[in-house]
Chains A and B, each alone.
Chain A
Amino acid sequence: MQRVADVKPSSASQPVSESTFADLMKPLIEPGFRLALAMLHDAQAAEDAVQEASFTAWRKLGRMHDQGRLRPWFLGVVANKCRNARRKKWVVEVSVGVPEELPAVSSEDRTLRSADLRRAISHLGHDDRLVVVLYFYLDMPVDEVATVAGTSVGATRARLYRAIKKLRPDVAIEEALR
């Protein structure tokens, strides 16, 4: 498996035009934002993380050998921006974005259950939270999740299993993975 880290810059940088960059990036912004929001639980911080990741992408895109792997690479950059954002205390302590618990949209039970689940996921470590969000929320296959997370498929799968056990200790892994 090729790791994200293996997408090494080539010695000769290939300039990317603004229109090409825009065309490449636009489909990635929404998944990037969804990932960042699920990681940070804060819409403004999530948009900031995606914006910063886009700057990084602009700087490094021309040096990528394989632009076909842009999506996992970009999501990996977003994940790192989220990790850095979580380190800033204000993101954790002063959430200025969407509140964790929203008014009931269909039923009180469902809303409470969703809030509990979000809270449980937010209490996972960064790496566990990342694989859960990528696998379950963004519907990415395990090998692509591993690429984004920068680990092996086996380690990713193990991390996923551990996270599931923390979220749903009473549910069989096979059932939870559906």
Chain B
Amino acid sequence: MSLRTDIQMAFDELTPSTHGMAERIVGSMLANRSRSRAMFAWSNPLRGATSMLALILVLVVAVGVLAGGRLYRDWSAFNSQPGNGLAALEARPMHLPVLVPGQDCPIGPKADLQGAGNGEGFGEGPVFGMPIGLDTKSTWGTYGYQWLLTRRDLAGPVLVRAKDLVTGKAVVFVGTYAAGPVTGKDSDRNGFAVKQHHEALLDTNHPPEDTNPPEVYFGGSDRLVAWQITLGLQRGASGCVAYQIDGPGFSEVFVVQAVGTGLAPN
């Protein structure tokens, strides 16, 4: 018997009848909502106060819209300034460390995440890296994932570039956060096409939400946003990866040693 059949049998034994459950759950939810409405209608004496509250809210929203418009203009102006837009970030020169022959991978600097990390972290902020986990090999090289953490108050585009310090070859990014021109193509062992880029872009104005919130992985931190990026190291890479992370008003570098299922040899 296959694992699939075994698992289905094992859980089917647990599953009670779900007959009528959908109607019950959805009905109960809508009924609760109706009760909430009824309670609101019943609370006539509170209507005066509610109206006042609504008026205050309208004023707050109006002020918010005005302030938001101003913030938007400020942001647009900020982005158009030399040094802050994405193109300007891309134009910044790389200032990664250079290894001399025989030198160990200069891992670090270690991050002080004040309990928010589940172990090692790297970088001085506002962006931090966790260790790289390699898990998928292809004919081109090895792919893996890495969590990058950004401070929640960080705003604007964050450009991520990386190199293997021993081979000097650029690390490629694939998947959701990969950005910039396509620099290569590959397919994984199941034939899925993969487009490679030399950049990853984190839009901190639109952080990932709901599924896998950072507090799940990083100890209840409400200070950090977690981004899972997928990267690839070309065959022959050492796994000693230096990141340069550029954003509005900062540029930071940290070095991480990739771990996992191993690097593809030359």
Contact = CB atoms under 8 A, between A and B. Distances in A.
The DSSP consensus for interface residues of chain B is: mixed
Q: Which 9 A-B pairs have the closest CB atoms?
A: A158-B135, A150-B211, A29-B22, A5-B208, A114-B10, A26-B22, A150-B212, A136-B7, A4-B211
Interface in B65-115: none
Given A26-B23, A33-B18, A152-B145, A38 B33 contact: no
Given A115-B10, A155-B230, 4 more contacts: A29-B26, A33-B21, A117-B6, A121-B10
Contacts, number: 152
Contacts of B26: 21-22, 25-26, 29, 54
B135 A3 contact: no
Given A22-B26, A47-B21, A154-B230, A34 B176 contact: no
B119 to A, nearest CB: 14
Q: How large is the interface on A (under 10, 10 to 19, 20 to 34, 35 or more residues)?
A: 35 or more
Nearest to A84: B216
A77 B212 CA distance: 10
B188 interface: yes
Contact of B30 (A18, A37, A133): A18
Contacts of B175: 1, 152, 154
Contacts of B213: 80
Contact of A155 (B2, B22, B30, B135): B135
A153 B189 CA distance: 12
Contact of A117 (B10, B143, B174): B10
A137 B7 contact: yes
Nearest to B7: A136
Interface string B7-21: 111110111101001
A29 B29 contact: no
A interface, over-half SS: helix
B4 A158 contact: no
Nearest to B29: A54
A96 interface: no
B15 A155 contact: no
A176 interface: yes
Nearest to A8: B206
Interface in B199-246: 206, 208-213, 216, 228, 230
B192 interface: yes
A58 to B, nearest CB: 6
Interface in B1-58: 2-4, 6-11, 13-16, 18, 21-23, 25-30, 33
B29 A114 contact: no
The residue in A105, A115, A158, A164 that gathers the most chain B C-beta atoms within 10 A of its C-beta is: A158
